[in-house]
Amino acid sequence: MSNTKPRSDEMNGAESLVHTLLANEVDVCFTNPGTSEMHFVAALDHIAGMRCVLVLQENVATGAADGYYRMRGTPASTLLHLGPGLANGLSNLHNAKKAGSGVVNIIGEHALSHIELDAPLTSDIEGIARPVSHWVQTSASAADVGTDAAAAIKASMVAPGQIASLILPSDTAWTEGGVAHGAVQKPAPLAYDNSVLDQAAAVLDGPETLLLLGGSALTEGNLEMAGRIARKTGCAILSEWANARMERGAGRVYVGRVPYPIDAALEVLKPFKRIVLLGARAPIGFFAYPDKPAILTREDAEILTLATAGADTTAALTALASATDATGTPPAHVVTPALPDRPSGPIDVKNLAAVIARAIPENAIVVDEAITTGRAFSPATKCAPKHTWLNNCGGSIGYALPAAIGAAIACPERKVMCLTGDGSAMYTVQALWTMAREELDITILVFANRSYRILRGELANVGVQNPGPRAIDMLSLDRPALDWVEMARSMGVEAQRVDDCAALEQALDDGLKSGGPNLIEVML
């Protein structure tokens, strides 16, 4: 890491940017550069300390930065080419924003003198960046780049994590006079709402009350504290449907998730007259449906927000445990080591969940984008060895393969399992190439139902009965059928296809032992 601040006459703007990133331990860059970014590329070449990870599409870069932050807790940078390159990465920046991940985007721009010519790649980069960013800034000169970069890094670290987009005109990168900025101080998280602490402690009383958790409340220590509160007060504990990171497995407190389907969620939440939110939002549906409510809690439910996602959830849980006299109480819902029986025969959803539960290694990271297939995974895997589970928080598909890259780079000592449907995986299939290039320890399961299966159910949910062949054809992936084995091998990833439980079990064992990227196409 660079701790020095070279004189301004020794560096250009791009070099001051690299020195500033490294001074703040932003030492990974997921990159897909173009002409406007060449001086930044040159600076990365001769300034030691940055790991540069090449991707073949920008949505892989932004998704990888999301996965990296979730596991490392510090931001990575991305390097994106002008407005179109940023636009390619918007989908996973949306997911990262919803997950509360910190990302520092470096986005190339034309030289200031060239923008007025309206060259083919000219666009409103700030306008493109704002909807998926918390902080946006265009550097005006080489002397400003280091200071702007420091501000971007600080913005990205605002709890729980924010998207910062720094736009770097090429002349500010190549012009001499850059000034590196030193380390910035990480902003403290917000305080929890102490004014409702006593009320929150009072309402958590018995099975008609719920403590709903999200964000940083789902660490191992915080889950244990929530378990103590549940044991003492008799309240239920649940998490949001989609969580950026949850610690799970044997020896930990198990927390179920509010279901995704509207009817199931309404049923689960129906008993609760009083709900305390801690790092979570009040439950709402993903979509609007005819004749179904969008708010999933009962109409007369009393809802208190003790801590938002950006607040100090550890302090909030500690205070709530003290206020409920639960600090010394043994936690409820601690799971003991247990695995499902070994399944046999054809692969169905139940057997698939059992095989995965039996295969999860100790301390693994599971990246989950099994949108329909995966709904059975949570209860089946709760007693597996200790592991971390990552969900898609923004709902924009194509997150899992890139996020697995980021998680593997953030935690190279841990096994990564990536669970994804075939439709979702096709959005960012280029990620396989980066996995091979970086020799990442990732085992990918692609669930090949050869359709956008979730949308078949959504047709019925919005009231469409007896859809015809044209509607079904728009949701199918079988004309022609995708060949995941050939696609993976063409990008340097070992792959095989399985259609029964024994073959899947063996393929998982082989893949996890290999130490490199492996893909298993699971026929459903």
69/113: higher pLDDT: 69
Please give the average per-residue pLDDT across 491-509, as a whole number.
97
Residue 458 — very low, low, confident or very high, per pLDDT cuts 50/70/90? low
- 496 near 520, Cβ under 8 Å? yes
Question: Which neighbouring-strand residues pair with 165?
Answer: 105, 136
Per-residue pLDDT, 2: 40
CA distance 495 to 499: 14
Residue 3 — very low, low, confident or very high, per pLDDT cuts 50/70/90? very low
Helical (H) or strand (E) element with 138: strand 135-138
In 151-295 the beta strands, taken as DSSP E runs, fall at: 163-169, 209-213, 236-239, 246-248, 256-257, 274-278
The runs of H, that is alpha helices, within 300-340 are 313-323
Same fold yes or no, 8-174 and 349-523: yes
DSSP letter (8 states) at residue 240: -
Q: What Cα–Cα distance (Å) separates residue 319 from each residue in 210, 242, 277, 398?
A: 17, 26, 14, 39
The fraction of the chain above a pLDDT of 70, given in percent, is 94
CATH superfamily of 349-523: Thiamin diphosphate (ThDP)-binding fold, Pyr/PP domains (3.40.50.970)
pLDDT greater than 90 at residue 455: no
Per-residue pLDDT, 8: 46
Of 271-285, 293-307, 313-327, 461-475, which gets the smallest average pLDDT?
461-475
**What are 200's two structure tokens?**
């929150």
CA distance 269 to 284: 11
Tens-place pLDDT, residues 363-386: 999 999 997 777 789 999 999 999
The fraction of the chain above a pLDDT of 90, given in percent, is 84
CA distance 30 to 18: 14
Per-residue pLDDT, 321: 98
- 488 near 495, Cβ under 8 Å? yes
From first CA to last CA, the distance across the chain in angstroms is 48
For residue 110, which phi and psi values (nearest 5 degrees)?
A: -60, 155
Residue 1 — very low, low, confident or very high, per pLDDT cuts 50/70/90? very low
Per-residue pLDDT, 340: 93
- 63 near 428, Cβ under 8 Å? yes
Tens-place pLDDT, residues 120-143: 888 999 999 999 999 999 999 999
Domains of the chain by residue range? 8-174, 194-323, 349-523
Which architecture characterizes domain 8-174 according to CATH?
3-Layer(aba) Sandwich (3.40)
Dihedral sign computed on CA atoms, order 61, 66, 67, 71 = positive
Q: What is the DSSP string of 466-478?
A: S--HHHHHTTB-B
Which architecture characterizes domain 194-323 according to CATH?
3-Layer(aba) Sandwich (3.40)
Return the closest-CA partner of residue 392 out of 88, 70, 103, 105: 70
Please give the average per-residue pLDDT across 431-448, as a whole number.
97
